[in-house]
Amino acid sequence: MTHKFKYSILRYSLYSFFAIGMVSCSSDNTSTDDDTDSSDDELVINVDATHFLTSDGTVTISTVPCTLSDGTSTDCYQIVTNSMPSDHNMGPWCPDNISDDAEAGGIWLENGEVYDVDGAFIENMATFYNDSNWLMYDANGDVYITDSEEDCINAANPDVGDEYENFCVECLPSYITNVSQTFLIPITPVAQTDPVFFLTAGAGDAPVGGAPDDAPAGPPEMVENVPSTRGIALNGIEFSAPAPTDNILGAYTLAPFDDAGGHINVHQGYHYHAATGFSTKVEQEDGHAALIGYAMDGYGIYEYADEDGSTPSDLDDLRGHTDEIRGYHYHVDEAGNNNFINGLHGAYAN
């Protein structure tokens, strides 16, 4: 399988189509008196609202009072987005025929690897998963693809019917014209003594990533008010929880990601499950990995690798560490791991 710079989608969320205007930001994230705070000798960098793409109206930002999970009363940025990226195209996700090349489809994340969902991938799924029940195309090689909003919704249902087995699930941007999402992020991050670890998508699963053994486990509702959203990209698109790929595959469906690592859900809109380098970034003057968004606690989220390809060796269990320019911040997981960060270092808005 080819393994190009692509990444995947999943199930309880689905896909999107396209948006206009490639936007590229290049500025450094060096702190100033306005964006820096200090507490207990720890450098704290405020969220910089100017890094978000707001010029076309797809993202709006205002300042509102908020209360954080530790009881802190402070100000938050209220970020409202229509969940449609303005800096890159959305899709494609499903190839039409088993003869199609990688340009016709999206990507799939499996066991830490990123696979092109091209015609050959669809043709060889029975071998790939060692399961002869996989046959997602007809005698002409045409791939079975959901082709309506109703099919998109039905195929994403946890109790998906047998009629959708062996379908490539593709939800289009035209299905989400009225979606609006609102997120609150503290302007000044507030570090916590005890970090909060996210849970994986399945009820009863352990926390994602390298979380310690004593981190909380169980369905999300067992941990009060812990957000499932990992953060917000600078283009206003949500960094989502890991896609429930086991549930998707268990129903003999495939819901690919596009090359940007995103897909569409009719309730959630377009959202990411992997960082693949397509969204707006803020390059760092010292060669450090670029800023690509902010976590729900206000700490910056940076790309996986630095400009020279090196990766930090001192990340904590949350995928964060501290330096003298950015203070505490996160580095996203490798795209093939269907993950961004493992938890929150700071308090988050309730």
If DSSP states are collapsed to H, E and C, what string results for 199-242? ECCCCCCCECCCCCCCCCCCCHHHCCCCCCCCEEECCCCEECCC
- Give tens-digit pLDDT for 99-118: 999 999 999 999 999 999 99
> Identity (one letter) of the amino acid at 61?
I
- Give tens-digit pLDDT for 186-196: 999 999 988 99
Q: In what order do the strands lie in the sheet with 59-67?
A: 59-67, 73-81, 181-186
pLDDT value at residue 161: 82
pLDDT value at residue 177: 84
pLDDT class for 42, splitting at 50, 70, 90? confident
Q: In what order do the strands lie in the sheet with 231-233?
A: 262-265, 269-272, 238-239, 231-233, 291-295, 300-302, 327-331, 320-323
Beta bridge partners of 203: none
- Give tens-digit pLDDT for 128-141: 999 999 999 999 99
pLDDT value at residue 1: 46
Q: Which of 38-42, 105-109, 235-239 shows the lowest per-residue confidence on average (mean pLDDT)?
A: 38-42
CA distance 228 to 236: 16
Is residue 269 within 8 Å of 181, Cβ to Cβ? yes
Percent of the chain with pLDDT over 90: 72
pLDDT value at residue 159: 77
CB-based contacts of 188, cutoff 8 Å, min separation 6: 37, 44, 46, 47, 74, 75, 298
Is residue 301 within 8 Å of 293, Cβ to Cβ? yes
> Which is higher by pLDDT, 305 or 29?
305
The token pair that represents 89 in the structure block: 């195209």
Q: What is the mean pLDDT of residues 330-346?
A: 96
pLDDT value at residue 214: 47
- Give tens-digit pLDDT for 135-179: 999 999 999 999 999 999 898 776 788 899 999 999 999 998 889
Is residue 206 within 8 Å of 292, Cβ to Cβ? no
CA distance 296 to 275: 16
pLDDT over 50 (residue 16): no
Cis peptide, bond prior to residue 95, ω within 30 of zero:
no
Q: Model pTM greater than 0.85?
A: no
